[in-house]
Amino acid sequence: MTEEERIFTGGVAVITGAGAGIGMGLARRCGQIGMTVIVTDIDKARADAVAADIVAAGGKAEAIQVDVAKPEALDALALDIFDRHGAVRLLVNNAGIETVGYSWEIPIDRWERTLNVNIHGVVHGVRSFVPHMLRVGKEAWIANLASIGSFGIMPTQAAYIMSKHAVQSFSECLYLEMQVAGAPINVCSIIPGMLKTSIFDAEAGNGEPEGAAAHRAAMAQMMASYGMDLDEGCRHFVEGLAARKFWISSQPDMTDRALAERVGFFQKQAPPTLNEQTRALLGA
């Protein structure tokens, strides 16, 4: 029995945005190690498909449609899961969307949707579930999806980048709050470097400015060519959760480079600059 199986087998995992991408990969991995997986997604058909795959592979799963941009939906989810299952061992606040385009050209609806899903979905996921976790009083885990982008900057991806900076700082504060409260809840920041997912697929860009398509396509090609296999990355993430790590990176070397560059930027206090790779990507 692996360490993650010893810790998580028999527990309930609630994963938001689990109908695709990293959420899907984490759901599959949690199913493989013996957890009951609550697959939530705004797209019920996608959630159903992931849950069905987990069950077909011998695991336990159910699908629930949830829009994390609506705090009341997360409140209802938490009440339902604790009422029916008694406890949640792992909450993964994963749901997120990528938005591409100049900040002044992104429509209001796309801006609001991005911030509500990427930031408020994480915040209210915590707000909804933690009181129940504390009431149960057993050791539990909260994993928030940050990003390698939490430590960098990228023009025309400002909406996504700023949201991931926010998630990272929220997770750091939450970690300390659990210490102050003496709570048996492990807080983890999951930091994907570059994994092969559908986040840059063309259809995911509905509502973006017209000029965003070329950048989105270039990022999708880069991800397909150089990204880590999704299941491999998610195995690393679950291993990190079992080890009770705060920082859990799919590609630690990539995280280290991003952090070093960010520290250097702060120390120099110079204006932001475009590196050659960014210039080439944007055709600048």
Helix (H) or strand (E) holding 113: helix 108-115
| Catalytic-role residue among 102, 160, 175, 226 | 160
**At which residue do the structure tokens 């959420």 appear?**
23
User: In the structure encoding, which two tokens stand for residue 26, read together?
Assistant: 């984490």
- Contacts of residue 41, Cβ cutoff 8 Å, sequence gap at least 6: 16, 17, 18, 19, 20, 23, 47, 50, 63, 65, 66, 95
254, 151 contact by CB (below 8 A): no
Contact 26, 96 (CB under 8 A): no
Establish whether 160 is a catalytic residue: yes
119 — phi, psi (to 5°)?
A: -105, -60
Distance CA 224, CA 130 (A): 37
- Within 13 Å and on the Cβ side, how many CA atoms surround 105? 12
Catalytic residues: 160
